Amino acid sequence: MIRLVSYCCAGIFACIALVPLLGCGEDDGIGQRYSVSGKVTYKGELLKGGNVNFLPEGAGVSGRGASGVIKAGYYSMTTLTAGDGVLPGKYKVGINANYTDMSEAVKQNGGMYQGNRLAGPRIKVIPEKYTNPATSGLTFEVKPTSNTFDIDLPEVSDEEDAAEVSKLTTKTKRKPKR
């Protein structure tokens, strides 16, 4: 009988000790996020792989960016933990599907890295202008509901692509120190 009372008391104390933990876990201090997913195509074809990046838009924006991995043409966005979604608001969007051909990089003298860059040739899957949210021309507004954004990247000439990228490069060049 004394043993039964001891077990009951231990159970009650364990429950009391666990009560403060109730309600914890979901509030990470960032805010409510909403599902964002979709597909990415270029020239009518699904991209095999890459990344989608959402950068908060507007002056003085203190929001958080989000990213998603493109797999077989489809993506789902993450802010903090896998698949948690995106905070509501307006975003500039960048897509990166270009990559370095590592099979060629490892064959080169000096290995995969030469200086501060990968040594292999850059494989251009989509125009470079789409890789930067500032030059892509892509914007979306995430609403407080489930969001689907299918992204169809229009074809861009090499000249137009180079012009867009050089505009950004010119703006971000640092002035020499005196």
Task: Give the model's pLDDT for residue 83.
Answer: 87
d(Cα 13, Cα 11) in Å, to the nearest integer?
5
Closest listed residue to residue 129, CA positions, set 160, 106, 99? 160
Entry pTM? 0.70
pLDDT at 2 over 90: no
List, for residues 64-79, the tens digit of each pLDDT value.
999 999 999 999 999 9
- Most confident by average pLDDT, 13-17, 28-32, 108-112, 172-176: 28-32
| Angle 103-48-101 from CA coordinates, rounded to 5° | 15
Residue 12 placed within a domain: no
List, for residues 132-172, the tens digit of each pLDDT value.
999 999 999 999 999 999 999 999 888 888 887 776 655 55
Residue 86 placed within a domain: yes
| Residue 54 structural domain | 29-96+127-168
Q: Residue 162 carries which DSSP code?
A: H
Amino acid at 157: S
Task: Give the model's pLDDT for residue 102.
Answer: 73
List, for residues 71-118, the tens digit of each pLDDT value.
999 999 999 998 899 999 999 999 999 877 777 666 766 666 665 565
d(Cα 54, Cα 64) in Å, to the nearest integer?
9
Residue 24 placed within a domain: no
CATH number at residue 74: 2.60.40.10
d(Cα 68, Cα 7) in Å, to the nearest integer?
50
